[in-house]
Amino acid sequence: MGVNNDKNMAETSSELVERAISEFESPLIGYAKTIVHDLDRARDVVQDTFIRLYQQDVGKVSEGLKSWLYTVCRNRALDMLRKEKRMVSMEDVVIDSQHGEVDSPATITVDHERTEQVKSYIARLPENQATVIILKFEKGYSYQEISEQTGLSTGNIGFLIHTAIKRLRELLPDDLR
Amino acid sequence: MNIDINDPRITAFALGELTGSDAAELARAVRSDMNIRQAVEEVRDTAALLHGTIGGGEVHLLTPEQRETIRSAGNDGSAMLMAASSKEVPFWRRPAVAAIGAAAAVALGVFMTQQRGGNATQVADHASSWDWSQVDMKDLTSPVQLDGGGHVRASHAEDASATAVASAMSEDTASFRQELEKRINKEDIKSLPVLPELKEQDWIALDGRENMTVNIPLTSGATSWPLLQRYIGEMSTLPPSSAVRIEEMVNHFNYKFPTMLKGSGLVGDIEICHTPWNPKTLLLAVHLRAVSPVSLGGEAGLTFNARQTQRARILGYSGLVSNAAKSKPRYVSQSHGNYVIYELECGVGNHPDQVIATLQIGQQGDELKVRSGQVKSWGDASVDLRFASTVTAAGMLLSGTTSLGELDSERLFSLLGLLEQGDSALSLGERSRALPLLKRAAELLNQSPQTGD
């Protein structure tokens, strides 16, 4: 079944945005970050991009969704860069952060202790589930790539990851979840 | 169609692995069924944790609050208002830029025609093989006009650049992205704002009179390290001292999760060692983090014992008014926290039990004392303190801090060498990339020595 081939089930703008978030949230944030150099700002740009998607004609934009999203995201990121150069001084940034109105962690690197904790919970999963979790989140493979690595079907991979994440959520303590 | 809460497609959708009709069906379910939406959000939460820990990287996901904001905008029509409110004249449409841009567009059109010998559509089809370094910056950054279907409106030669850029974006072409990032960095340097001169924090004199309590900053900004990378790494020149904030340099990096003291949603560690560039002083480091992902900050204070400490200063945080934020709510991040270093002039030959300073966290009186007997040599200090103090030393030299003791570029070289030899943790992540940059800074400082008192 195509996305829009049933007129009674035509995709609404809300559904289009939800689908766009699912498919493009992460790559768009990475893209915006190459322009604005900051993860929090990149998230803001992407949030704004998705909000603007509501204004579009679903029937038309659906086909060229990726192109539309990347274009608007890029335009918004460049716009933010321009505005910040004009409006934000170093002094403002620091004083704002001292006052707690912004929380701007610069870079998140590995927190060894936390990582070890998470690994210990992954180790409690059945071996096949732990393997796909490692391939998906440590190696960054897609379902298709995991399928090629393991010889399992993408359907099986999906089931294993789904089950593994549910189990992990049960195992993880509140401060990690 | 109802979707079962145990349907594996829910996880696939949350992870961006679902496309086509399955994705559309799940998107519909997320909008109409709160249980499905919650299930999707839970998977994204766990995915964020896994990306941020075993993935060893940043979490390129929106926060749950941002996703809700997006959904709300669709529900109440505020998307239209938000978009309408931000229609300002972009810089590329200013007259001077537009004139340059028009010329560049013509040049680009000629260039592309020569390169490909074909029309714009053909060029766009081969965006991945383009030499973007030959394309004018304006064309890389011009807004691309799309029709309602997300297609570039390009049928004339002068629209070729837009077509090519749009094609590169559609394919998320790595070569385009790298060139754009490189050019933006260069443009950033050219157009840096005028930075205000910073006034370094004064020493607080205690002189044996009364103990002194200071609030510990809970957050730092994030601009200095990227600026240093651009000045030192890319331009091979020293940054202006006003661009150097020691606390931002130190807190660009992550440190071991604190465990020594806990209270009011905060956790903290404290450590003290001899200053490797000043035999008369000690370095006292406090590391604070939130217990939950982002906590509304409690209070954290440090009390110096006037009998042991002649004077003390915080390293970095230039230009801030002491205790200015006391009455304001503050946030501290669990993922990053804040690592703060103080320099203390203390009496020599103290009894090992004598208290030098006391860390207090929260409203309940939770505190931790650091005593003379706990003062370590720099070489015996933790990896974190050795690294953070070396970054601090670089920041002090680059920012022109006074009272440097024996600190100069040679001493900085020496500290960096010791770090390199002794700390295997440096082989991980950002820290390993910091060393070459700091060495280059030391070289540049050596060629253009800074002076302290």
- Say whether residue A151 is in contact with chain B using an 8 A CB cutoff: no
Report whether pLDDT(A133) > 70.
yes
Report whether pLDDT(B276) > 90.
yes
Report whether pLDDT(B261) > 80.
yes
pLDDT at B189: 59
Q: Do the chains contact at B219 and A25, CB–CB below 8 Å?
A: no
**If 0-12 CB within 10 Å is exposed, 13-18 middle and 19+ buried, where does residue B94 land?**
exposed
- Cα separation, B375 vs B327, whole angstroms: 33
Report whether pLDDT(B297) > 90.
no
Task: Read off the pLDDT band of A112 (50, 70, 90).
Answer: low
A93 contacts on B by Cβ (under 8 Å): 221-223
Q: Running DSSP on this structure, what letter comes out for residue B193?
A: P
Chain A residue with the nearest C-alpha to that of B335: A108
pLDDT at B365: 65
Give percent of chain B above pLDDT 90: 29
The residues of chain A that CATH labels 1.10.10.10 are 112-171
- Say whether residue A91 is in contact with chain B using an 8 A CB cutoff: yes
Hey, of A4, A6, A8, A15, which one would you mutate to test binding to chain B, going by the most B CBs within 10 A of its CB?
A15
Q: Do the chains contact at A70 and B223, CB–CB below 8 Å?
A: no
- Say whether residue B257 is in contact with chain A using an 8 A CB cutoff: yes
The residues of chain A that CATH labels 1.10.1740 are 7-98
Average pLDDT, rounded, for chain B: 75
CA atoms within 13 A on the CB side of B330: 30
Hey, of B4, B5, B13, B17, which one would you mutate to test binding to chain A, going by the most A CBs within 10 A of its CB?
B17
A63 contacts on B by Cβ (under 8 Å): 149-150
Report whether pLDDT(B329) > 50.
no
Å from B352 to nearest chain A CA? 31
Chain A residue with the nearest C-alpha to that of B291: A175
- Say whether residue A24 is in contact with chain B using an 8 A CB cutoff: yes
- Say whether residue A27 is in contact with chain B using an 8 A CB cutoff: yes
pLDDT at B14: 93
Q: Do the chains contact at A97 and B220, CB–CB below 8 Å?
A: yes
- Cα separation, B343 vs B302, whole angstroms: 13
Report whether pLDDT(B140) > 70.
no
Task: Read off the pLDDT band of B278 (50, 70, 90).
Answer: very high
A165 contacts on B by Cβ (under 8 Å): 11, 43, 46-47
pLDDT at B343: 96
Q: Do the chains contact at A111 and B177, CB–CB below 8 Å?
A: no
Higher pLDDT, A1 or B48: B48
- Across the interface, of A71, A81, A162, the residue whose CB is closest to B8 is A162
Under 8 Å CB pairs connecting chains A and B tally to 330
Q: Phi/psi of residue B78, each to 5°?
A: -70, -15
**CATH class label, A112-171:** mainly alpha
Name the β-bridge partners of B302.
B214, B359
Query: CB atoms < 10 A from the CB of A23, how many?
Result: 21
Hey, of A12, A13, A22, which one would you mutate to test binding to chain B, going by the most B CBs within 10 A of its CB?
A22
Tell me which amino acid residue B95 is. Answer: P
A52 contacts on B by Cβ (under 8 Å): 79, 83
Q: Do the chains contact at A109 and B429, CB–CB below 8 Å?
A: yes
Q: Do the chains contact at A118 and B217, CB–CB below 8 Å?
A: no
pLDDT at B428: 56
pLDDT at B243: 83
Q: Which of B6-20, B147-161, B294-308 has the highest mean pLDDT?
A: B6-20
Task: Read off the pLDDT band of B358 (50, 70, 90).
Answer: very high
Chain A residue with the nearest C-alpha to that of B224: A90
Q: Per-residue pLDDT averaged across B392-419, rounded? A: 93
Q: Do the chains contact at A13 and B45, CB–CB below 8 Å?
A: no
pLDDT at B264: 74
pLDDT at B349: 58
- Cα separation, B313 vs B311, whole angstroms: 7
Report whether pLDDT(B348) > 80.
no
Task: Read off the pLDDT band of A115 (50, 70, 90).
Answer: confident
Q: Do the chains contact at B63 and A31, CB–CB below 8 Å?
A: no
Residues 102-131 of A with CB under 8 A from B: 102-115, 117-119, 122
Pairing of strands B204-205, B355-361: unpaired
Higher pLDDT, B433 or A160: A160
- Cα separation, B148 vs B330, whole angstroms: 44
pLDDT in tens, B191-220: 555 566 677 888 888 877 788 888 888 877
Chain B residue with the nearest C-alpha to that of A59: B149
A4-8, A154-158, A165-169, B34-38: least confidently modelled range: A4-8
Which of B25-32's residues contact partners 24+ apart within 8 Å by CB, and which partners?
A: B25/B1, B26/A18, B26/A19, B26/A22, B27/A11, B27/A15, B27/A16, B27/A18, B27/A19, B27/A22, B28/A9, B28/A11, B28/A12, B28/A15, B28/A18, B29/B3, B30/A18, B31/A12, B31/A14, B31/A15, B31/A18, B31/B71
- Decide if B214 contacts B299 (C-beta within 8 A): no
- Domain chopping of chain B, boundaries: 8-85, 93-190, 204-447
Report whether pLDDT(B183) > 80.
no
A35 contacts on B by Cβ (under 8 Å): 180-181, 184
pLDDT in tens, A6-60: 444 678 888 999 999 999 998 899 888 877 777 888 888 899 899 888 888 888 7
Å from B353 to nearest chain A CA? 31
B155-169, B361-375, B383-397, B435-449: least confidently modelled range: B155-169
pLDDT in tens, B38-81: 999 999 989 988 988 888 666 788 888 788 888 887 765 544 44
Q: Do the chains contact at A3 and B20, CB–CB below 8 Å?
A: yes
pLDDT at B387: 95
A48 contacts on B by Cβ (under 8 Å): 82
State the CATH architecture for A7-98. Orthogonal Bundle (1.10)
Q: Do the chains contact at A89 and B195, CB–CB below 8 Å?
A: yes
Higher pLDDT, B189 or B441: B441
Q: What's the ipTM?
A: 0.77
pLDDT at B136: 67
Q: Do the chains contact at A64 and B195, CB–CB below 8 Å?
A: no
pLDDT at B187: 64
- Across the interface, of B14, B62, B324, the residue whose CB is closest to A46 is B62
pLDDT in tens, A64-102: 788 788 888 888 887 777 665 533 333 333 333 333 332
- Cα separation, A117 vs A176, whole angstroms: 9
Report whether pLDDT(B156) > 60.
no
Task: Read off the pLDDT band of B3 (50, 70, 90).
Answer: confident
Higher pLDDT, B453 or B280: B280
